[in-house]
Structure 1
Amino acid sequence: MTMFFKLSIFILAFAVSLDNFSTGFTYGLRKMRIPLKSVLIIAICSGVSLFISMLFGKSLLTFMQPEVANRIGGTILILIGAWVLFQFFRSRHEQEDDEAVLEEKVVLNLEIRSLGFVIHILKKPTSADFDRSGTITGIEAFMLGIALSLDAFGAGIGAAMMGYSSYLLSILVTLMSFLFVSGGLKLGNIFSHLSWMKKVSFLPGILLILIGIYKF
């Protein structure tokens, strides 16, 4: 295992988890609370989603040559990265809500009745606060965790096909998701004037594309 391959595991986990920072920062700006237990639920959702998708990705390896699987995995990461960038730049041209504190990223825009709840959360993260209490707890944290783990699910399939360890990557994503939600929440509370930090949401797209190109 080369040094860059080891480093790329951390970069991939960072890229998949960074959206959690963006969401945590949004909640912090709005002075909303996410208790430690809820942060843990969100982080576990990301880790479990990635692990399940990697198991699926590994099962596909039995039907193809390693080199082909590697290229397909790289292509998946490149496509996910391109999608993240597309959504980032598209959101900059959308009209802002007059009552919004800062622009909220549109991650997914599909009319699927069974997934409508999760999609609405992705469009507007603060809508996960169903009871308008200002605190994300219980089922609210679970639904937010599911919403934030969708990117991780797609990336997990590609990562598995490129030979990454499902256990190591899932653990790293869980830990980073926990740290990023907590860190984003605190920074949002302390530095409410630094709303430009939300712009880091384009970074995961670039990192995923670079890793995909390297492994292609």
Structure 2
Amino acid sequence: MHWITIIFIGIAANLDNLGIGLAYGVKKMRIPVLSNVVIAIMSMIVTFVAVTAGSTVIEYISAHTANLLGSLLLCVIGMWTLLSNRFSKKGIMSSPELFDEDKNHVISVREAITLGFVLSANCLAGGIAIGANGISAIWTVISIGTFSFLTVAVGSHCGSLLTKTFIGKYSTAISGWLLIMIGVFEIFAK
């Protein structure tokens, strides 16, 4: 089993969530445990769909080709992460109150569904690549959900303390480099 890959994919897919959690913490906006669970579940659902789609690819091409394509896709996603603005996540970090529709400084379960869907966007392509590599869907989903919950919780709890740290400032770049390293590791792992 690819335990190292599964753990690192969970971390890489959720480093942006740490930044988002920090942004909420700095603005003194709460993300209750139940709302955080909803965000993690959204990431898990998107990851499961993506891994399943990726594993379907194996049925039409050889396992070696699927592994190579999945690994290269992880590298491309990592490079895209480094070079792009990561969809609307920068907007969330600079204006976290966008998802607090009732303006009470608490992310409700309903608000968490929308936020979770936006935060799970990076799980989509990574999940497809993981599925194409033939890596366990269930353990990948559990890893993504666990690290989603932990990064949002730590980020929102630590708020202003971590925004000035290396991880807070460079979470997107760290995530991108991790994805590239996972892709390279998977190319040579089989």
Looking at structure 2, the residues matched to 24 and 56 of structure 1 have their Cα atoms a distance apart, in angstroms, of 29
Looking at structure 2, the residues matched to 76 and 161 of structure 1 have their Cα atoms a distance apart, in angstroms, of 9
Partner of residue 138, structure 1: 109
Partner of residue 157, structure 1: 128
- Work out whether residues 25 and 198 of structure 1, in 8 Å CA contact, stay in contact via their aligned partners in 2: no
1:6 CA displacement? 2.1
Partner of residue 50, structure 2: 53
- Report the AA paired with residue 6 of structure 2: I
RMSD over aligned Cα atoms = 1.6
Partner of residue 178, structure 2: 207
TM-score (norm. length: structure 2): 0.89
The ranges of structure 1 where at least 4 consecutive aligned residues each deviate by more than 6 angstroms after the TM superposition are none
Looking at structure 2, the residues matched to 200 and 29 of structure 1 have their Cα atoms a distance apart, in angstroms, of 16
1:130 CA displacement? 2.0
- Work out whether residues 41 and 145 of structure 1, in 8 Å CA contact, stay in contact via their aligned partners in 2: yes
1:214 CA displacement? 2.0
Cα pair distance change 1:161/1:193, threshold 3 Å: closer
1:192 CA displacement? 6.5
Q: Can you list the C-alpha shifts for 1:147-167, whole angstroms capped at 9, x where unaligned?
A: 010100110000011121000
Partner of residue 91, structure 2: 124
- Report the AA paired with residue 68 of structure 2: R
Q: Within 5 Å, which residues of 2 pair with 1:85-124?
A: 85-87=82-84, 106-108=85-87, 119=88, 122-124=89-91
- Report the AA paired with residue 145 of structure 1: G
Q: Can you list the C-alpha shifts for 1:182-212, whole angstroms capped at 9, x where unaligned?
A: 00011105x2773652322211100100111
SS in 2 for 1:71: helix
- Report the AA paired with residue 107 of structure 1: R
Deviates more, 1:194-203 or 1:18-27: 194-203
Partner of residue 167, structure 1: 138
Unaligned runs of 5+ in 2: none
SS in 1 for 2:106: coil
- Work out whether residues 155 and 162 of structure 2, in 8 Å CA contact, stay in contact via their aligned partners in 1: no
SS in 2 for 1:132: coil
Q: Within 5 Å, which residues of 2 pair with 1:3-18?
A: 5-18=2-15
2:164 to 172, 180, 194: 194
Looking at structure 1, the residues matched to 163 and 53 of structure 2 have their Cα atoms a distance apart, in angstroms, of 43
SS in 1 for 2:101: coil
The percent identity for this pair of structures is 31
